[in-house]
Chains A and B, each alone.
Chain A
Amino acid sequence: MVKARKERLSGWGNYPVQSGYVFRPEHLDELKQIVTAKEYSSYIAYGLGRSYGDTPLNRGAGVIGTSRLNHFIDFDEQTCFLTCEAGVTLHEIIDVFLPRGYYLPVTPGTKMVTVGGAIANDVHGKNHHVDGTFCEFVASFDLLTASGEIITCTRDRHADIFWATVGGIGLTGLILRATFKLIPVETAYINVRYEKASNLDEAFAKFQADADFTYSVAWIDCLASGDSLGKSVLMRGDHARVDDLPASIVDPLKPADKFKLKMPIHAPGMALNYYSISAFNKLYYGMYKDEDKLVEQSSFFHPLDAITDWNKMYGKNGFIQYQAVFPKHNNPKEGLRKLLTKLSDARRSSFLAVLKSSGPWNGGLLSFPVEGYTLALDIPIKDDGLFPFLRELDELVLDYGGRVYLAKDSSLEISAFQEMYPTWEDFLDVKEKVDPGHLFSSSMGRRLGLSK
C-alpha cells in the first residue's frame, strides 16, 4: 500500500494550519492505488501551497502532493503547445523555455505555482484585461476522476467537466497533465512605464488613458487617506524586443540569476504595526519616479520571489490576503474607494495593495475574474476582530456586485459565497456527476458547501 505522511499543512498565509495525511506519488499507478484504496474519507490535491487559505487543505483526511509529478511530456515549436504533468512549476517552465524564446502566456505574481494549481484556481496575471486567465491558453487536460477513470477534457469533449475544473479548486478530480500554449518572446525583458498617481481618480484616469499596454498593475498605499486615498504607482509594460536592448546585454533571453534573500524565521508579531508599515509605504512610494525603464522579467512579474519565505514576515499567527473584484458596470471606483476608506479607518494596516483591471468572465463555473477592477491586499492576523471585519468587507463587495477570490480566501461564509458565485449550483451538478461519493473534498469545499 502506498504510504502517507501525517503533516501539518497551511497555505501561503500560514492560516489556517491543519493536519492531513499527505501522499506524494511519483507515478500514475501509485496515484490510482491511492484513489481506489480509499484509505481516507476524501482527498485533495496540493501543489505548492501558494494559495493563501484552506483551498488545498483537507483536515484529518487525504492530501495528494503533486510535486513529484513534474515531467515535461511534449513541446511543439510550431504551435507553441506544451504538454506537461500537473506538478511542473511555472518557475521550471520559465527556466527551460525562456532561453529558447518562449514565455508563459499568463503568470501570477509568483512563479512558485504548479500547472495544476494554475488551472484549479484559473489564475490571472497583469494582462487579464487583454488576454484573460491562464486557462484561456489551456487546450486540454487529463483528469483522474473518483472512479479511477482518466478523462481528457477540452472545450468540446466533456466540456461541462472542463468548465467545472477550470477554477474548480481540485474538487472534480486530480489534473494529471495539461496542454497549453506558450508565447514567443524575443527577450527576457519588459519595457516598463512607471507613473505615480496621487489619488484614486488619477490612477483610474491613467489606467484608462493609454490602455494598450499588455501588462498593467498599480500598487496602492493603503494607509493614504483623505485627498490622497488611492495614492499609487502604476507599472505597465510590454515584452521588450531585441532592438530595445542596450548592446551591453549579450544574451537577450537569459533569465537573470538573482541573489535570493531568505526569511529565516517567523517575525515577532509586533514587528509590523501601523507605524512601521506606514514608514515602509512612504519609502516605497518615494523610490519611484515617472520614467520608462527596461526591467528583467522576474523583477517585473515576480518581485516577491526574490525573498524566499517572505510570508514569515507576518509572524506565527499568519495573515490573510483579501482579493475582490468590482465589476465594471457597477461603479467600481466608488466600491474601491469605500473599501480603501474602511481599511484605512480600521487601521488594519497593510503593505501595498495591488490594483489590476480584469476582462470578461470566461465561463469557468468557479472562476474568479469578471470584467472590472480587482484589489488584493495582505492583512496580518492579530486579533479575532479581523474576521467580523472581513465579513463587513464581503458585504461591501456584494453591494457592488463583486466577488472574493477563492485562491486567497480562508473564511468566507457560505451565503456570501453563493451570492458571489451564482453558478455554484451548476458546479454542484457536475460535481454530482463526476464525483457522487465526494471522494475529492477539501476544507474549503466543505466550508462553502461544495463538497462533503
Chain B
Amino acid sequence: MGSILVLGANSTIAQATVRKLTDKGKHFILTSRDPSQLEDLKNDINIRSQVDVQVREFDALDFAGHKAFFDDVVGSVDVLDGVLLMYGAMDDQKLAEHDFAVARNMIDVNYTSAVSMLNIAANYFEQRGAGFICAVSSVAGDRGRKSNYIYGSTKAGLSVYLQGLRNRLHRAGVHVITIKPGMVDTKMTYGLVEPGPLLADPVTVGRDIANGITARREVVYTPWFWLIIMGIIKLIPEKIFKRTDL
C-alpha cells in the first residue's frame, strides 16, 4: 500500500486534511519538531481508518539533514505516493520589520526549507515517474500588503517555485498542487483574527485540499470565494492600492 509523507502534521490544517484523506487507504508518515505531540493524532487516524501511521521528527530548518531524512522515509515504506508540505511560520509583521531574525525565520521556514525539501522530493518522484507534491502557500502571497508582506513574500516565493516545479514535473507524470487558503481558524490565527464569515473552518479547508489532490487540481483557493476576492484585489492598480489600508 502507498504512503503519504505529511511535513508539519501538527498544524491545524494538516490534521483536518489527513482526516479527510484517510478513506483513500494510504499509510501516513507524520512529522513534527516534537513527535510526542503527534501521538494523539496517530491513534486518532489509526482508529478512524485502520491504516498504519508512523511518527517522525523533522525540523524544517535543519537543511543539512533533509536528504538523509527523506531517504530514510523512502526506505521505510513500500511506495511513497506523495508529500504534503503543511508547516509554516507567520510571525508578527512589525517585529519582522525591526528584527531580521524574525523575518528570516519566516523566510527559512516558509521558503528556503521548502525549496530544499521539495527539490529532494521532486528528484525522487521525477525518477519514479509518479507521485504528487502538495504544498500550502497562501492568498497572502498573491499581493503584498503592508500588514503582512514579509510573510506574504515568503508565500509568493513558494507559489512561484511550485508553478515552475509543476511545469518541470508535468512530463514525468508527477502532479504538483498549490493550496492557497484564505484566513483559517487555526492556532496560527487564534486571537489575532476576529471570528467572522471570512475566517474559515479548518475542516472545510482540509476537505478542499483532499478533494484537490484527488481531482489532480493545479491551484486550489480555499474556501473557493478567495479566488474571486484575490482576482479583484490583484486587479487594483498599484497607484490606488498603495493608498489602501488592507
| A7-B195, A26-B12, A27-B37 known; A71+B44 contact, CB < 8 A | yes
| B41 and A71 contact, CB distance less than 8 A | yes
Cβ-based interface call for B100 (8 A) = no
| A73-B43, A85-B40 known; A3+B190 contact, CB < 8 A | yes
Q: Complex: how many Å from CA A117 to CA B7? A: 34
Cβ-based interface call for A204 (8 A) = no
Q: Report chain B residues within 8 Å CB of A96.
A: 47-48
Cβ-based interface call for B187 (8 A) = yes
Instruction: Bits for B157-200, please: 1 = Cβ < 8 Å to A, else 0.
Output: 00000000000000000000000000000010011100100000
CB distance from B191 to the nearest CB of A (A): 3
Which one of B12, B41, B187, B190 has the greatest number of beta carbons of chain A within 10 Å?
A: B190
| B190 and A71 contact, CB distance less than 8 A | no
- A31-87 interface (Cβ within 8 A of B): 68, 71-75, 85
| B12 and A68 contact, CB distance less than 8 A | yes
CB distance from A310 to the nearest CB of B (A): 20
Q: Complex: how many Å from CA A380 to CA B44? A: 41
Q: Complex: how many Å from CA A7 to CA B40? A: 28
Instruction: Bits for A6-45, please: 1 = Cβ < 8 Å to B, else 0.
Output: 0100000000000000001011000000000000000000
Sorting the interface of chain B by its residue count into under 10, 10 to 19, 20 to 34 or 35 or more gives: 10 to 19
Residue in B48, B190, B195 whose CB lies within 8 Å of A72 = B48
| A26 and B187 contact, CB distance less than 8 A | yes
| A26-B12, A85-B40 known; A3+B191 contact, CB < 8 A | yes
Q: Report chain A residues within 8 Å CB of B187.
A: 26
Q: Report chain B residues within 8 Å CB of A73.
A: 40, 43-44, 47
Q: Report chain A residues within 8 Å CB of B195.
A: 5, 7
Q: Complex: how many Å from CA A3 to CA B192? A: 9
Closest to B50 in A: A100
Interface of B is mostly: helix
Closest to A5 in B: B191
Closest to A75 in B: B47
Sorting the interface of chain A by its residue count into under 10, 10 to 19, 20 to 34 or 35 or more gives: 10 to 19
Cβ-based interface call for A4 (8 A) = yes
| A72 and B12 contact, CB distance less than 8 A | no
Q: Complex: how many Å from CA A4 to CA B187? A: 11
- B1-59 interface (Cβ within 8 A of A): 12, 37, 40-41, 43-44, 47-48
Which one of A3, A5, A71, A96 has the greatest number of beta carbons of chain B within 10 Å?
A: A71
Q: Complex: how many Å from CA A427 to CA B12? A: 38
| A72 and B191 contact, CB distance less than 8 A | no
CB distance from A72 to the nearest CB of B (A): 4
Q: Report chain A residues within 8 Å CB of B12.
A: 26, 68
Q: Report chain A residues within 8 Å CB of B37.
A: 27
Closest to B12 in A: A26
Q: Complex: how many Å from CA A4 to CA B190? A: 8
Q: Complex: how many Å from CA A392 to CA B31? A: 60
Q: Report chain B residues within 8 Å CB of A26.
A: 12, 187
Closest to A70 in B: B44
Q: Report chain A residues within 8 Å CB of B40.
A: 71, 73, 85
CB distance from A391 to the nearest CB of B (A): 36
Q: Complex: how many Å from CA A4 to CA B195? A: 12
CB distance from B143 to the nearest CB of A (A): 27
Closest to B41 in A: A71
CB distance from A425 to the nearest CB of B (A): 38
| A5 and B44 contact, CB distance less than 8 A | no
Q: Complex: how many Å from CA A72 to CA B12? A: 16
CB distance from B50 to the nearest CB of A (A): 9
Q: Complex: how many Å from CA A75 to CA B50? A: 11
Closest to A68 in B: B12
Residue in A3, A4, A27, A71 whose CB lies within 8 Å of B43 = A71
Having A71-B43, A72-B44, one finds 15 other A-B pairs with CB under 8 Å, namely: A3-B190, A3-B191, A3-B192, A4-B191, A24-B190, A71-B40, A71-B41, A71-B44, A72-B48, A73-B40, A74-B43, A74-B47, A85-B40, A96-B47, A96-B48
Question: Which 9 A-B pairs rank lowest in CB-CB distance, beginning with the nearest?
Answer: A3-B191, A71-B44, A71-B40, A72-B47, A72-B44, A5-B191, A73-B43, A75-B47, A96-B48
Interface residues of B (CB under 8 A from A): 12, 37, 40-41, 43-44, 47-48, 187, 190-192, 195
Residue pairs across A and B with Cβ atoms less than 8 A apart, 7 shown, are A7-B195, A71-B41, A71-B43, A72-B43, A72-B48, A73-B44, A96-B47
Interface residues of A (CB under 8 A from B): 3-5, 7, 24, 26-27, 68, 71-75, 85, 96
